[in-house]
Amino acid sequence: GAGVSQSPSNKVTEKGKDVELRCDPISGHTALYWYRQSLGQGLEFLIYFQGNSAPDKSGLPSDRFSAERTGGSVSTLTIQRTQQEDSAVYLCASNKGQGNYGYTFGSGTRLTVV
């Protein structure tokens, strides 16, 4: 596609429920990144996929967070048993990887846990 597409754009969920956030990267981009931005804060790295390599999960804050990337394209970030502190904007970015740093960000998913 022309840009990085994320869905849904907004999600309100009850505490304790599971949520899935989707990211569709730019066609041909082998690297995909998830970041989290809490209100008024910077961007916190969560997870990074590069081609067929094992993902770098070093930024996932707890075992309630997981992500997968199917077929080297679309990625899903899953948050289980959501907590109020999970409320944030979840941003996805992609690039061509292998040192090609032209990151393109999606518009994000604003998650609100009530």
Q: Which residue has the tokens 């990267």?
A: 25
Give the closest residue to 37 by CA, choosing from 114, 98, 102, 107: 107
Contact flag: residue 60 with another protein (CB under 8 A): no
Asked if 97 touches another protein (CB under 8 A), the answer is: yes
25 near another protein, rule: CB under 8 A: no
Query: Of 43, 64, 73, 74, which one interacts with another protein (CB under 8 A)?
Result: 43
Q: Which of 75, 82, 95, 109 binds another protein (CB under 8 A)?
A: 95
Radius of gyration of the chain (CA): 13
User: What tokens appear for 56 in the block?
Assistant: 């770098």
> What's CA 22's distance to the chain center, in Å?
7
Contact call for residue 106 and another protein (CB under 8 A): yes
| Least distance CB 18 / another protein (angstroms) | 25
Whether residue 6 contacts residue 89, with contact meaning beta carbons closer than 8 Å, is answered with no
Q: Is 45 in the site for another protein (CB under 8 A)?
A: yes
Cβ-contact 11, 109 below 8 angstroms = yes
The count of chain residues that interact with another protein, using the rule CB under 8 A, is 25
Chain positions contacting another protein, by CB under 8 A:
31, 33, 35, 41-45, 48, 50, 56, 58, 91, 93, 95, 97-99, 101-103, 105-108
